[in-house]
Structure 1
Amino acid sequence: MTPDLNLRGSYSKTVIRPDFREIGMFGMYDFEIDGYVYGEHVQSTLIDNMDVRVEWYPSPGEIVSITGFYKKLDKPIELIHSEASNYTFANMENAKNYGLEMEIRKNFSFLSGKDWLKQLFVYVNGTVLKSEVNVLSHWQWINNPVTQKAERVQVRYPNQDRPLIGQSPWLLNLGAGYWGDDFGATVNYNHRGYRTNLANVNMARVEYELAPRLLDAQLYARFFKRKLEVKLNLSNLLDDYTRFYMNIHDYTQDDTKFSVLKEGRSIRYRKEDGDIITYKRKDGRRFSLSFSYSF
């Protein structure tokens, strides 16, 4: 549009092929969920991707952008808790994701003309996302009243729709740093909203994940005419918990005997509503030191 303002748009059609574990009809033990995972008649997922993006470059190294996106997924694959300690990969009917993403990277050269202020910057990236999936059950046997025969089918349940597995309603990344010629440092903070971890046709048994707050840092220095570089990486400094929960008291049954959210309730975690933490996990802090030399 102008030398420092871009308008981009794109459309693509992509496919996700199921992997071996998702199509294998024999059970494989998964240590993380303490259960056996199966696949059955899993088909590829077709995705229509559309987005529009506006980019503004105030100066070299700076950007302000906003993106609107939409994705339609035909037969997305999810992992469903079927019975006891068994889990099944199955195709859902369809799903859609849409939302907005904003990115800002700004240095501090506006304070004065000093060179070091151009190398000092802040960074913000945020996304708001709406996700909806039309839920199908895992494969199960039913008696067909017309043919009077047992059939292996997936059943479309009413009032079971929720966010697609793995999708958070919001994501936030914040960063600040100084990238000098001889030394520098970067600090990053990341967090996101709840997301579906394990699906279940009983909505009260769907398991959601509360992500940990992540704080990472990197320090570097260069020596011997900048030929030797030393880097110190610090990961997960807050050592926060990843928590998993269920909304076991947030649902009631309607006339069709299927779960429906009670008035005023939501799938967000609320301890006062009786939501339960199923388990917690800590990944621990991590530190690493690396050296590189250019001849």
Structure 2
Amino acid sequence: MSRNEAALEAQKLENVWGVNKSKALPNMGLSYIMGRDLGGSRVKVTTVNGFTFNKSSKTYYGDRYGYTGYTTDDNGTVTGSKTKYYNDNYTYNQTTSTNLVSNWNFEFSPKSSITFSNYYTHTANNMFSVRYGLDYDNQYERVAYATDYVSKSMYLSRVNGHHVLGTDEQTTLDWAAGYSHTTRKEPDYRVAAAQRLLGTTEDFYLLIPRSSKADAGSRYASILKENTYSGRVDFTRNISTYNDGIKLKAGVYTEYSARGFDSRLTSFAQDDNTDYELRYPSASEIGSIFESENFGENGYYMIDGTRPTDAYTADSKLLAEYVGLEIPVAYKSKLGVGVRVESFNQTLVCDTVNVNNQSTDVLPYVNYVKADDKGGVIKMSYAKSINRPAFRELAPFTYYDFEWRTDIAGNSELENTEIQNIDFSYSKQFIYGLKVSGSLFYKYMNNPIEKAYKIRSESPMFTYENSESAQLAGVSVEIATPLSANRHHWLNKVHVMVNASYIYSQVQLSEESQEASSTRALQGQAPYIINASINYTHNDLLFAVMYNTQGKSLYTVGDGQETYPWYLMPTHNLGFMVKKTMTKKLDLSFKAANILNAKATFYEDGNMDGEIDPGNGSDKLIREVQVGPSFTFGLSVKF
């Protein structure tokens, strides 16, 4: 369209740029579940149906920092930097979710049954965010607004069959067929920005761009639809004359997924024909400046900033077959061996980018299980697995993230990750209630996929890339026990559970990598994870305290030249729950979450030593998000 034709089209759009204040209602939820045994003479029918509805509001605060002017010592190690910009975000979210379930079981005989399962979930999130910022490089004070509405829905349907075949009842056939449909709609993501000179008291003036911008006067819309079809058949045959003998297992699985994604970016713009008073309007006019009368030959017009890469189509096909043996090798011990062969084809078309990944992977497995007469179980296993890049990780489509103030784009050059897994575990349950389990594990990854932060000429960007290899080794321990073995002592009603894991990870980088070090921790992997709870149950009263934390993890990879690694620091989450059974049909509950008001804190590792020391001048705060505590009252009725 011509400039004036685009202005006439913009006049047709409803003005939805006003900022309004409202008070949020308390969060609320309602659920109902019903189970019925419908009986039947030839076919026994049982069903479970229900729904859940939740509506919640949440406000959180976040600070965001950016840095420039890095100084280094004689060895090239960063020793300091200066603040490039500072942002203070206030974000309000209102989320509504609906879940439906309808499951039916048809039992034709003790040897034959079919289950029909249906799940539907719909979630809608309404977001409004205000960002106040200081741009020290350009000496501006800025305010930005973002309004977004995203709805997601998924329907999943599955039919499962279980049949015992033959007069000897030594053959079992299990089969399943499934279908799922996923939709994500983002009809109108709006971003407006205003600024004034730093240190002045003038009004903020709205930024009306002269070209398409995703961060000022922009409106973005997108829609994603995906259909997945799957089917499987599993065959088990006892090839011995007794029930616990050698079993032959074989099966086939197939899956097809097809996705379509489309998006559009438009911006309200000005040019030399725009009246002067419309070029720098006050930010206080955000609710009226985009009225239809301000578009036209001497007003604003609309620019379509949609790029060819803002849409893509993709599909994947998987065909897998497996065969294995389960062999008793001694008293209460079994050995399982087998192999799975997967043929996979993934295609993605996005503008001139054509991805066509094809692979045939042979995935062997071996596992050994031994139980004793005192409640102990030993398990040892080896398996090879594959982690394949998701459609979004491959698509070069670029999306602007308002909260991080950066773009997010995929990488069409990603390769599959091959993983070798070795596990050893031991668990034991004692008579008086003590349960103990521990495991050792090791993983070797070839071409692990990691999240990286890049600097481009127009804006920074999150993307994904393969590292050369990675190793993980760890130990996990879980203990659950009453505080007293005496069933008549009140401490027997107090149960403690602790689950703790320590994980060591190391990534080997290729010679082409621009990172300063050849090794580092794996992106996203915390070095330790701790979950703990203490429960007290007495008659109709339950009281529980829950705690969890995890260690510092690499949030995104930096190359040490234009960008630096970002780390998510440890957080300590504490909550509790009280539940009281008033009658056989009535329960009351109260829950509290995040009562320590834990913050999500991100730091930049300027000297790239893998450690964060805020006082050394090189490690700086990147982002801090505070969600706050929440409290929930619950009422449950049975009838």
Equivalent residue letter for 2:571: P
Normalising by the residue count of structure 2, what TM-score does the alignment of the two structures yield?
A: 0.39
Q: Determine the C-alpha separation between the residues in 2 that align with 1:12 and 1:181.
A: 46
- Whether 2:373 is the aligned partner of 1:2: answer yes
Decide whether the 8 Å contact of 1:136 with 1:156 is kept in 2.
Answer: no
Aligned partner (choices 105, 129, 132) of residue 503 of structure 2: 129
Could you report, residue by residue, the CA deviation over 1:235-285 in whole angstroms, capped at 9, with x for unpaired residues?
11101221111221x35xxxxxxxxx4xxxxx2222332321112111211
Q: Determine the C-alpha separation between the residues in 2 that align with 1:234 and 1:158.
A: 44
> Secondary structure at 2:535's aligned position in 1?
strand
- Whether 2:544 is the aligned partner of 1:161: answer no
- Whether 2:415 is the aligned partner of 1:30: answer no
Q: Which residue of 2 aligns with 1:172?
A: 530
Q: Which residue of 2 aligns with 1:270?
A: 613
As a proportion of its length, which structure holds more strand? 2
Q: Which residue of 1 aligns with 2:629?
A: 285
> Secondary structure at 2:519's aligned position in 1?
coil
Could you report, residue by residue, the CA deviation over 1:95-154 in whole angstroms, capped at 9, with x for unpaired residues?
1111111111110233x44164333111111111100112359xxxxxxxxxxxxxxxx6
Aligned partner (choices 561, 564, 574) of residue 205 of structure 1: 564
Equivalent residue letter for 1:6: V
Q: How does 1:229-244 map to 2 (within 5 A)?
A: 229-244=587-602
Decide whether the 8 Å contact of 2:447 with 2:468 is kept in 1.
Answer: yes
- Whether 2:441 is the aligned partner of 1:69: answer yes
Q: Determine the C-alpha separation between the residues in 1 that align with 2:555 and 2:632.
A: 30
Could you report, residue by residue, the CA deviation over 1:60-101 in whole angstroms, capped at 9, with x for unpaired residues?
542112210111222211111121412221111121111111
Q: Determine the C-alpha separation between the residues in 1 that align with 2:501 and 2:587.
A: 35
Aligned length: 262
Decide whether the 8 Å contact of 2:523 with 2:553 is kept in 1.
Answer: yes
Q: Which residue of 2 aligns with 1:256?
A: none
Decide whether the 8 Å contact of 2:516 with 2:560 is kept in 1.
Answer: no
> Secondary structure at 2:392's aligned position in 1?
helix
- Where does the alignment leave 5 or more consecutive residues of structure 2 unmatched? 1-371
Q: Determine the C-alpha separation between the residues in 1 that align with 2:510 and 2:403.
A: 24
Q: Determine the C-alpha separation between the residues in 1 that align with 2:385 and 2:403.
A: 30
Q: Which residue of 2 aligns with 1:17?
A: 388
* Cα separation, partners in 2 of 1:155 and 1:247, compared to 1, 3 Å: closer
- Whether 2:493 is the aligned partner of 1:119: answer yes
> Secondary structure at 1:205's aligned position in 2?
coil
Equivalent residue letter for 2:507: V
Could you report, residue by residue, the CA deviation over 1:206-254 in whole angstroms, capped at 9, with x for unpaired residues?
00010321001111111222x2222222111101221111221x35xxx
Q: Which residue of 2 aligns with 1:145?
A: none
Q: Determine the C-alpha separation between the residues in 2 that align with 1:158 and 1:83.
A: 17
Aligned partner (choices 446, 465, 481) of residue 90 of structure 1: 465
> Secondary structure at 1:18's aligned position in 2?
coil
Q: CA deviation at 1:45?
A: 2.1
Structure with more contact order per residue of length (Cα contacts < 8 Å, sep ≥ 6): 1
Decide whether the 8 Å contact of 1:37 with 1:89 is kept in 2.
Answer: no
* Cα separation, partners in 2 of 1:31 and 1:18, compared to 1, 3 Å: farther
Decide whether the 8 Å contact of 2:515 with 2:558 is kept in 1.
Answer: no
Q: CA deviation at 1:9?
A: 1.6
Decide whether the 8 Å contact of 2:579 with 2:587 is kept in 1.
Answer: yes
Q: Which residue of 2 aligns with 1:146?
A: none
> Secondary structure at 2:615's aligned position in 1?
helix
Taking only the aligned residue pairs, the percentage that are identical comes to: 26
> Secondary structure at 1:28's aligned position in 2?
strand
Q: Determine the C-alpha separation between the residues in 2 that align with 1:32 and 1:272.
A: 26
- Whether 2:581 is the aligned partner of 1:222: answer yes
- Whether 2:475 is the aligned partner of 1:100: answer yes
Q: CA deviation at 1:27?
A: 0.9
> Secondary structure at 1:239's aligned position in 2?
coil
> Secondary structure at 1:284's aligned position in 2?
coil
Q: Which residue of 1 aligns with 2:165?
A: none
Q: Determine the C-alpha separation between the residues in 2 that align with 1:3 and 1:294.
A: 40
